[in-house]
Amino acid sequence: MADSEMIMTGAEMVLKALAEHGVKHVFGYPGGAVLPIYDEFFQQDKVKHILVRHEQGATHMAEGYARSNGKCGVALATSGPGATNCVTGLMDALADSIPMVLFTGQVPTHLIGSDAFQECDTVGITRPCTKQNWLVKDVNDLARIIHEAFYVATTGRPGPVVVDIPKDVQFAKGTYTPKDGVIIKSYQPQTKPDAKAIEAAIAMIASAKKPVLYTGGGVINSGPKASKLLREFVELTGIPITSTLMGLGAYPASGKEWLGMLGMHGTYEANMAMHDCDVMINVGARFDDRITGRLDAFSPHSRKIHIDIDPSSINKVVRAHVPVIADVAAALEAMIAAWKAHKHGLDHAVLKAWKAEIQKWKDVDCLKYRQSKDVIMPQYAVQRLYELTKNRETYITTEVGQHQMWAAQFYRFEEPNRWMTSGGLGTMGYGLPAAVGVQAAHPKALVVDIAGDASVQMTMQEFSTAIQYNLPIKIMILNNHYMGMVRQWQQLLHGNRMSESYSDSLPDFVKLAEAMGGQGVHCDKPADLDSAIMKMIETPGPVIFNCEVANLANCFPMIPSGKAHNEMLLGADITDEEVGTAIDAKGKQLV
């Protein structure tokens, strides 16, 4: 390309770089400090801009987009309030390791520091909630920085980054740097495992009597190949497998060795297997507190192998006997090769005894709940949704709370990248905009946000975005007229005093959907549930399904705060008194 073709304005560089990185969708909202970039959007058709209603929505859409197709999500906001509105989405992406590039406009360089209109210290505010961020002061640095931003966001442990571009830099002309050859000397994440670590891991697994695989979001982040390799490794070894909330779908729920999700609202069999195992193989998970329960009683008899791409995850909360720093796919590939070359392998009789033990825990049927003829049980609603959508290409997002846990427990994921939920940060209001992002990435697929009545109101306005772009998302609200998880904790911890956790003055969700230009569906009887779900699915365009469920149902099984994996509360026949006394004084102080 002639040199003169590489001379362009900063705003042109942004669009050129987006095209060079294969970006198809940008979720954004215009404002004074990004007008030059918006002017460029107007004059091209390679990158589609999706206009959101609030910048937080843009960030969650970018997250949903990224999680459902493995590409980098891209969002765009103006300076000041535009940037600050993105903070929640950035932190959410950081907590869940989601690749995202956020572009923000900034006041012109000569006004920075003058408390100008819509000025804020964007790089200062976003520093702790990004993997890296940049303020671009010279247009000649802009293209290189954008390439670095994409590289940092998508490699190593993925995460969000921010590129803050002052308005004068968007107008200024400079030289565009192509993306090839841009490297960051100080940033070279290790992806290939150490051969000795793999050898030690395989030897440890081969000597196990009660092995368990504990997998996490790292498997999903590593790409579809990692899920394939994980399935192959399980098939090869016959080791029982559980997953965190973030890792659902990496191993199919119909798989022979599947134990269900583990952790606070995980299954009894998964948590008991974790507690009693002698070798734990952590693949791309981070021993989060929702997983471990009480740490000093966490899996007390096991030796632990920990595969993680981020060295700071190793030994952060739980000591790893064999740390493997690597990308999950690379580590699994090496482990499969080493396993095949290994002479002995697991003792089948011993493994069979371990599985018999696990079967006893499975027989407890921990997800059992009391069915009702009069009201829709929320668990039942998710079960029916699963049965009626399992043969379609379905993507599920959620908000945060009881409905999220029921979705995780009762929707059975067979493939990776089909499940988008806010795990680490626990952001209410994530699911609706995330669904918009997923639908943009998969226009033909069925995208359902399993929502709660409280959460969904936090980012309700993005339903309008779905209408504008005819993104036919389906919002299934499990409406119990409560912030259910808040209420559950008040019942557990605070003498059943339900302080401010009742959802008063709820909108008529059907009318709300119609007012915004979509369709509404309502159902409050178990007998009508299937037809209501089918109506939601078959109605064209965005739909809100107000599914009235049992108001006081609680989410079980549960590891109460401050308790260990083998001290789970089971749900089916629990009394109010047992709920009220489940957590002791020490546990009450925890979150």
Partner 1 sequence: MNAHQQATGSAYFIDTTKKVVETHTLAVVAANQPGVLARIIGLFAGRGYNIDSLTVSETEHEKHVSRFTIVTSGTASVVAQIKAQLDRMVLVHSVEDLTVQGNFLARELAMVKVSGQGDKRVEALRLADAFRARVVDASTESFVFELTGKPDKVDQFISLMVPLGLVEVARTGVAAISRGPDAMKI
432 neighbors 400 (Cβ within 8 angstroms): no
318 binds partner 1 (CB under 8 A): yes
133 binds partner 1 (CB under 8 A): yes
Active-site annotation holder among 13, 272, 280, 485: 485
The correct pick among 7, 317, 515, 572 for binding partner 1 (CB under 8 A) is 317
**Which segment (106-114, 296-304, 367-375, 534-542) binds partner 1 by CB under 8 A?**
296-304
Residue 444: what residue type? K
292 binds partner 1 (CB under 8 A): yes
The correct pick among 310, 357, 530, 567 for binding partner 1 (CB under 8 A) is 310
* CB nearer to partner 1: pick between 138 and 578: 138
Size of the site for partner 1 (CB under 8 A): 39
* CB 591 to partner 1: min, Å: 5
Residue 167 annotated to the active site? yes
* CB nearer to partner 1: pick between 298 and 509: 298
* CB 148 to partner 1: min, Å: 8
* CB nearer to partner 1: pick between 138 and 235: 138
* CB 151 to partner 1: min, Å: 10
127 neighbors 187 (Cβ within 8 angstroms): no
* Dihedral sign (CA 379, 380, 381, 383): positive
* CB 562 to partner 1: min, Å: 7
Active-site annotation holder among 55, 399, 462, 548: 55
Contacts 24+ apart (CB under 8 A), 552-556: 552/480, 552/482, 553/369, 553/377, 553/378, 553/379, 553/402, 553/480, 553/484, 554/402, 554/484, 554/488, 554/491, 554/579, 555/265, 555/402, 555/405, 555/406, 555/484, 555/485, 555/488, 556/265, 556/366, 556/369
Structural tokens at position 201: 């891991």
* CB 590 to partner 1: min, Å: 5
355 neighbors 272 (Cβ within 8 angstroms): no
110 binds partner 1 (CB under 8 A): no
How far is the C-alpha of 456 from the C-alpha of 463, rounded, in Å? 10
CA nearest neighbour of 265 among 241, 284, 242? 242
Structural tokens at position 116: 């100008």
22 binds partner 1 (CB under 8 A): no
25 neighbors 440 (Cβ within 8 angstroms): yes
Active-site annotation holder among 16, 167, 304, 563: 167
Tell me the C-alpha to C-alpha distance, in Å, between residue 343 and each of 280, 347, 424, 459: 21, 12, 40, 56
Residue 117 annotated to the active site? yes
Active-site annotation holder among 118, 190, 461, 468: 118
505 binds partner 1 (CB under 8 A): no
Residue 485 annotated to the active site? yes
Residues 184-203 that bind partner 1 (CB under 8 A): 184-187
Q: Could you write out the DSSP letters of every residue in 30-92?
A: --GGGHHHHHHHHT-SSSEEEE-SSHHHHHHHHHHHHHHHSS-EEEEE-STHHHHTTHHHHHH
The correct pick among 25, 147, 275, 294 for binding partner 1 (CB under 8 A) is 294
How far is the C-alpha of 135 from the C-alpha of 511, rounded, in Å? 45
* CB nearer to partner 1: pick between 109 and 461: 109
Residue 55 annotated to the active site? yes
What are the residue numbers of the active site?
A: 55, 117-118, 167, 485
List contacts with partner 1 (CB under 8 A). Answer: 123-124, 127-128, 131-133, 135, 152, 156-157, 184-187, 287, 289, 292-296, 298, 300-301, 310-312, 314-319, 561-562, 586, 590-591
